Amino acid sequence: MSTWLPPVAPAPEPPAPPPPAPEPSRAKRWFGPALVIGLAILKFGAKLKVLLLLLPKLKVLTTSASMLVSVAAYALIWGWSFAAGFVALLFVHEMGHVIQMKREGVKVSGMLFIPFLGAAVGARSMGGNALAEARIGLAGPVLGTLACLALIPFASAQDSDFLRALAFTGFFLNLFNLAPVVPLDGGRAMAAMAPWMWFAGFAAMLGFFVLFPNPILVLILLLGGMETWRRWKTRKEGAEGNAAYYRVRPVHRLVVATAYIALIAICAVGMDLTFVDRSDAI
């Protein structure tokens, strides 16, 4: 006796896989994340500017409190001792700006330390002319470099790789700040030396970013690009005194250039003297 069974319907074919998404272009891969980071940094920068103006009225954001926050942040990477030494070198660097600002008659509203971004001094101007701006800009690397040089005898006497590494980091910090890009210290010096160097410095910084992408470089490129374009447009318009702002006597231009080149040379030699080879420790 046979049992009748209904015919079995064939199993449906699986749906065809969707076509692969087109691979993003190289430009999108490079600049997509950078654009997102840049927009976030711009928002942060706008808030930071407000905070610097309100710094004297905000008790929480005192210099000492922001220094402690920065030490704690850097300690996550380098440990407490090195973090404290690095923030101390940052403080000396910024005090160079503060001292010169006061000598130029610029009112300082406060100093704020920003973890992984350095520190900033709040002020409504950079002096009454390009020469004053250059003096204020170079005063930070001058005092900061002297502090690093002071560490070398102690490092040699104690044969301390810790002090050598700390001095090396300080020399690098000051050397990086001498890049001819506003708002870095080197860009301030270029206001009195050769403002056209802002464009050369910006191009060099852009090339460095392509080779070594970094959020800090994104911040410098965004702020530097906007500030360079704004200042170049108003450089000869006469608005707000800009017509006379960049008039610097040749002898003063030579003094600024000599100090600028000397600082670069000293920082480079200092980095060579304090370099600690850690390849054997790996």
pLDDT in tens, 95-122: 999 999 999 988 888 888 888 788 888 7
Q: Would you state the pLDDT for residue 39?
A: 46
Residue 142 has pLDDT above 70, yes or no: yes
Mean pLDDT of all residues in the chain? 79
Q: Would you state the pLDDT for residue 227?
A: 85
Question: 233: pLDDT confidence band, cut at 50, 70 and 90?
Answer: confident
Is the residue at 9 inside a domain?
A: no
> In this prediction, what percent of the chain has a pLDDT beyond 90?
39
More confident residue, 19 or 92: 92
Residue 280 has pLDDT above 70, yes or no: no
**Total structural domains within the chain:** 1
Domain span at 229: 57-275
Is the residue at 178 inside a domain?
A: yes
User: Amino acid identity, residue 107?
Assistant: K
Q: Would you state the pLDDT for residue 277?
A: 76
Residue 223 has pLDDT above 50, yes or no: yes
202-230 mean pLDDT: 84
**Residues 103, 126: contact at Cβ < 8 Å?**
no
Q: Would you state the pLDDT for residue 122?
A: 78
Residue 136 has pLDDT above 90, yes or no: yes
Is the residue at 44 inside a domain?
A: no
Residue 209 has pLDDT above 50, yes or no: yes
Residue 175 has pLDDT above 50, yes or no: yes
Is the residue at 250 inside a domain?
A: yes
120-133 mean pLDDT: 84
Is the residue at 11 inside a domain?
A: no
Give phi and psi for 107, each to the nearest 5.
-80, 125
20-26 mean pLDDT: 51
**Residues 101, 149: contact at Cβ < 8 Å?**
no
β 118-123/108-114 pair status: antiparallel
Buried b (16+ CB within 10 A) or exposed e, 201-231: bbeebeeebeeeeeeebbbbbbbbbebbeeb
50-78 mean pLDDT: 70
Q: Would you state the pLDDT for residue 279?
A: 62
Q: Would you state the pLDDT for residue 234?
A: 76
Q: How far apart are CA 232 and CA 234, in angstroms?
A: 6
